A and B are shown apart, each in its own frame.
Chain A
């Protein structure tokens, strides 16, 4: 009963806005039907999480998201005993919860988790589809509705933060990138409510910042940043200030790059 209550909170009732840019929806559906886990990769703010929300809505499954960090332990995922009123009570972790109830478990930014933690998903991510819970001596077999999805950002190329091949090779990989100019403008306009022409200018600005890779800006303005800037504009903040606070300052602290992006803003608007 209690578990179901918790689960219902993860259900997505309203259709989230997602604009398919390729065959990703079809692929994810096929993966769901055949019980394959999926790996979403792409730069920050390009719609990976939104895609998962959309898929959860479309497949009518609850979506349990875990944001990974380097202190995430196996128990944080699988579950642990807690003491309640003098008794030890087992509490499922988010992963176990998802397996038990056939939900979608989405591990966001999986590379941030330590490698020994990511290993627990291995038996779940191949054809066994099972989760051993050592502390309880239990072996959970995932129902067909359960789906495992992980995401990571290949932009942070660091030797330390890379997926182990044994983890990586269990997944169907879906590559995400920023949408083309027209689609991106439509997304920005729709999500933030600003006019189409303003959205186009924002997209133009984003394209310029994405060209700064060699000049010291590893990642340019994401679609999410543009939407945030658009939302500020929609709420009465003037265009330049909105761009300055939502885009320029959010991208970098480097003084010269700040000036350069500022010049771009003043050129575009």
Chain B
């Protein structure tokens, strides 16, 4: 193809956009060298990329020629999809970088040659880590392996071994070691619990370990020594805790030692100590010193009980090295050992403490209020007193007794709190919080208790637990993928849905509607009453609650007459329970202005009146929005919210707003319904036309995305149904909802009459 034809094709592909002529010319120039078939498949992808990013599309055209030298045209769409994934996750730069190295980024993973990326193990290692720790630790990729005691950071990718299983194992090994540092309180060790507990604001407190390491002239050496000694101790801990893991680790290092892997992968922690004395060896060849230190380390391996032992040995070893004037050249840490980042630990700890302090004080205050213990004696922020303090008439005597049951982990301790000589029974949640605080601080600050007593005494109401007491209101935007039919894949994290309260307006709509439909409402109530849990007797059953006399007489007669008597002689009471949850999704787009909006509102009123009688659970939400980053999801009635004045006012306030981006709204409604446990879950959409948004969300794209969102809903066990007043709906709605899952109402005015009827048929 020549450049002119290419340009022309390009313009038809991207229409109605009209990009700059010179940009297009520059981009398509390259394609001219390709043969016809390749050129066509390359251009086919333009439609996929152009709507996502124009500049990415130009970049694509510039690189596609060289990419097609590396792989067959069949793989092109897969390559484009991975590129778009990169773009959506990390932006244009990342996508450009990805496209630049076809061999390394695309082909190697395709052939299964590269290592294991974090993404692949995250799903299995996060639950693994949480199972190990029993708490909600996080797992994240980072350039350096370390843990700040809230998150474990692991490499982006592990490519050490040829076998993927080994790479995955190594990930697991790293995670386990980092967890073990937390579990053995390697970083949160303190000289003796409670030695300096008074008067300090615990949340900003320095780590004891930091001070300890900084007290050496060469903190770096001291830190590295300590970390290595802790690794030795932790290894022993893991040997006894997780023997299976350590067995595999040993066999892996035996296998790999000959293959030239770095020593930081294969060597044992104890042997690593040798490297600290490398310089000394070279100079004086004093092997006895060497031996002595190794013997110390060996003893440490088998005898160390706590992190304090490591600290002590650090001091000894440091002194030896100092005396022998060994010059320290930093030793690279073992790969699974990672590095020690005490500032990170301190930061994470203070954050955690702040949180648990707030939670603890709240929970305890609530508990005290409930128990009526607060009384009038309580005074806020009473200075803490030591254990066994005598009860003070004016203030509060607080005794906190933390009993460690298990020497190994601090998490198994029982905290007993005594306030004014009265023992307070802590509930499970408080116990959990208290042990988490103890594991961070090494002791339990009594200020926490006195502030709780203070808060309870002042009669503070407990803080609301969630963001909203009304129901499952979600805070912040909820992000959803969007289906791109041209790509046959999702646009990842493409749409934001914001849950909002509907702005209320005053109107006489409600009473007027009730008046207008007075007769119909009366009839509806009667009709719907009949639908309530129906109980009926079914006769002639093999077993049941009572004897079916007719059947019995018949059977006796039969047997007298010499016929085989029936054994169906019982009556059974059958209850058909209506276990139904339904969510109404109201299109609040601009096009509903006028009659349509009015009719929708009226039909909602009638429905509510009817549904209140039948007792089904129902929720109503409205949606509208503009562009992918803002789909507003208006709350009118949550599923289990009572039908009260406020709900009525919200219904009256439904008004036309912006556009109809159906997909994200449907996905959000699906999420809400998915949490509900019901026999039948219905999602009813009330709409007046095709899905459409301000941007390129229109036509086939919008219909396909909506269709896909509905398929997702069905997969979640939800029945979607659409009621539309669009006269041209036949053209697309059957494809979107499936031919039996919609109803089209030709006259808007009929909607209020028809809607309860439709609902009745749907649920019976």
A residues with a Cβ closer than 8 A to B are: 73-75, 80-81, 83, 86, 88, 114, 135, 158-160, 201, 204, 207-212, 214-217, 255-257, 259-269
What is the size, in residues, of chain B's interface with A at 8 Å between Cβ atoms? 35
B545 CB contacts on chain A under 8 angstroms:
73-75, 80
Question: Are the CB atoms of A135 and B546 closer together than 8 Å?
Answer: yes
- Among the listed B123, B130, B176, B244, which residue makes an inter-chain contact with A269, where contact means beta carbons less than 8 Å apart? B244
**Which B169-193 residues have C-beta < 8 A from chain A?**
172, 176
Distance of A19 from chain B, by nearest CB (Å): 18
Contact B546 A209 (CB under 8 A): no
Chain A residues with Cβ below 8 Å from B575 are 114
Q: Flag if A266 contacts B248 (CB, 8 Å).
A: yes
- The reply to whether B136 and A209 contact each other, CB–CB distance below 8 Å, is no
Option from B134, B547, B552, B559 in Cβ contact (under 8 Å) with A211: B134
B545, B552, B559, B575: residue with the most chain A Cβ atoms closer than 10 Å: B545
In the complex, the answer to whether B127 meets A216 with C-beta atoms within 8 Å is yes
- Measured CB to CB, the nearest residue on chain A to B245 is A267
- B547 & A81 in contact (Cβ 8 Å cutoff): yes
Docked pose: A215 CA to B135 CA in angstroms:
10
Partner of B127, one of A158, A207, A215: A215
Chain B, Cβ-Cβ closest to A160? B677
15 A-B contacts (beta carbon < 8 Å): A80-B545, A83-B552, A159-B640, A208-B131, A208-B132, A212-B127, A256-B127, A260-B124, A260-B127, A264-B128, A265-B244, A266-B244, A267-B244, A268-B245, A269-B244
In the complex, whether B647 has a CB less than 8 A from a CB of chain A is: no
The reply to whether B124 and A259 contact each other, CB–CB distance below 8 Å, is: yes
B559 contacts A263, C-beta separation under 8 Å: no
Minimum CB–CB distance for B82 against chain A, Å: 22
The reply to whether B243 and A210 contact each other, CB–CB distance below 8 Å, is no
User: With A73-B573, A269-B244 in contact, do A210 and B134 touch (Cβ < 8 Å)?
Assistant: yes
Nearest-neighbour CB distance to chain A for B738, whole angstroms, equals 28
Q: Interface 1/0s, chain B 474-508, versus A by CB < 8 A?
A: 00000000000000000000000000000000000
Is the CB of B556 closer than 8 A to any CB of chain A? yes
User: Is B569 among interface residues, defined by CB-CB distance under 8 A?
Assistant: yes
Question: Could you tell me the distance between the alpha carbons of A211 and B411 in the complex, rounded to whole angstroms?
Answer: 13
Query: Shortest CB–CB separation between residue B183 and chain A, in angstroms?
Result: 12
**Whole-angstrom distance between the Cβ of B374 and the nearest chain A Cβ:** 27
Asked if A269 contacts B243 (CB within 8 A), the reply is yes
Chain A residues whose C-beta falls within 8 Å of the C-beta of B127 in the assembled complex: 212, 215-217, 256-257, 260-261
CA distance A75 to B546 in the complex (A): 8
The reply to whether B241 and A204 contact each other, CB–CB distance below 8 Å, is: yes
B340 nearest CB across to chain A (Å):
23
Which of A75, A217, A263 has the largest count of B CB atoms less than 10 A from its CB? A263
Closest beta carbon of chain A to B342's beta carbon, Å: 26
- Residues on B with C-beta less than 8 A from A216 are 127
Within the complex, the shortest CB–CB distance from A269 to chain B, in Å, comes to 4
Q: Does B125 contact A (CB under 8 A)?
A: yes
A211-B130, A216-B127, A259-B123 known; A267 vs B546 contact (CB < 8 Å):
no
In the assembled complex, which residues on chain A have CB atoms less than 8 Å from the CB atom of B245? 266-268
Q: Which residues of A contact B124 (CB under 8 A)?
A: 256, 259-260, 262-263
10 tightest A-B CB contacts, nearest first: A211-B134, A259-B124, A260-B127, A256-B123, A208-B131, A267-B245, A215-B127, A267-B242, A75-B545, A260-B128
Contacting residues, chain B, for A255 (C-beta < 8 A): 123
Which B residues are CB-close (under 8 A) to A214? Answer: 130, 136
A263/B125 in contact, CB under 8 A: yes
Task: Tell me the nearest residue of chain B to A211, going by C-beta.
Answer: B134
Q: Are A264 and B132 in contact (CB under 8 A)?
A: yes
CB distance from B135 to the nearest CB of A (A): 7
B63 at the A/B interface (Cβ < 8 Å)?
no
Residues of A within 8 A of B569 (CB): 83
Residues B130 and A158 in contact, CB atoms below 8 Å apart: no
Distance to closest chain B CB from A251 (angstroms): 11
Q: For chain B residues 685-707, which have a beta carbon within 8 Å of chain A?
A: none
Q: Which residue of B lies closest to A78 (CB)?
A: B545
State the CA gap A210–B127 with chains docked (Å): 11
Find out whether the CB atom of B242 lies under 8 angstroms from the CB atom of A80.
Answer: no
B24 within 8 A of A: no
Interface string of B397-418 (1 = CB under 8 A from A): 0000000000000000000000
Interface residues in B526-558 by Cβ distance below 8 A to A read: 544-547, 552, 555-556
* B126 CB within 8 Å of chain A: yes
Instruction: Report the bound CA distance from A73 to B541 in whole Å.
Output: 15
**B133 CB–A CB distance under 8 Å:** yes
Q: Mark B626-656, 1 if CB is under 8 A from A, else 0.
A: 0000000000000010000000000000000
What's the Cα separation between A74 and B544 when bound, in Å? 11
| CA–CA, A160 and B244, complex, Å | 43
User: Which B residues are in CB contact (< 8 Å) with A88?
Assistant: 547, 552
Partner of A209, one of B131, B135, B176, B241: B131
Find out whether the CB atom of B133 lies under 8 angstroms from the CB atom of A158.
no
Q: Which residues of B contact A160 (CB under 8 A)?
A: 579, 677
CA distance A201 to B172 in the complex (A): 19
Nearest Cβ on chain B to A41's Cβ, whole angstroms: 14
Contact between chains at A268 and B131 (CB < 8 Å): no
B131 touches A211 (CB 8 A): yes
Find chain B residues with CB under 8 A from A268 CB: 241-245
Query: Nearest-CB distance from A233 to chain B (Å)?
Result: 14
B547 touches A83 (CB 8 A): yes
A263 near B547 (CB under 8 angstroms)? no
CB A166 to nearest CB in B, in angstroms, measures: 20
Find out whether the CB atom of A211 lies under 8 angstroms from the CB atom of B132. yes
Q: Within 8 Å CB of A260, what residues of B?
A: 123-128, 131
- Alpha-carbon distance A11/B575, docked complex (angstroms): 36
Asked if residues B134 and A207 are in contact (CB atoms below 8 Å), the reply is: yes
**Which residues of the partner chain B approach A264 to less than 8 Å between Cβ atoms?**
128, 131-132
A207 to B128, CA, bound (A): 12
In the complex, are the beta carbons of B130 and A212 less than 8 A apart?
yes
Docked CA distance A81–B571 (Å): 11
Cα distance A265–B136 in the bound complex, in angstroms: 20
With both chains docked as a complex, state the minimum distance between the C-beta of B336 and any C-beta of chain A, in angstroms: 14
Q: Which of B125, B136, B242, B575 has the most CB of A within 10 A?
A: B242
Proximity string of chain B (205-242) to chain A, C-beta cutoff 8 Å, 1 when within and 0 when not = 00000000000000000000000000000000000011
Nearest-neighbour CB distance to chain B for A206, whole angstroms, equals 10
Q: Which residue of A lies closest to B171 (CB)?
A: A263
Which chain A residues border B547 with CB–CB below 8 Å? 81, 83, 88
Shortest Cβ gap from A43 to chain B (Å): 14
Distance from A265 Cβ to chain B, minimum over Cβ atoms (Å)? 8
Task: Report the nearest A residue to B617, measured CB to CB.
Answer: A159
Contacts of A265 in B (CB 8 A): 244
With CB as the reference atom, state the residue of chain A lying closest to B126.
A215
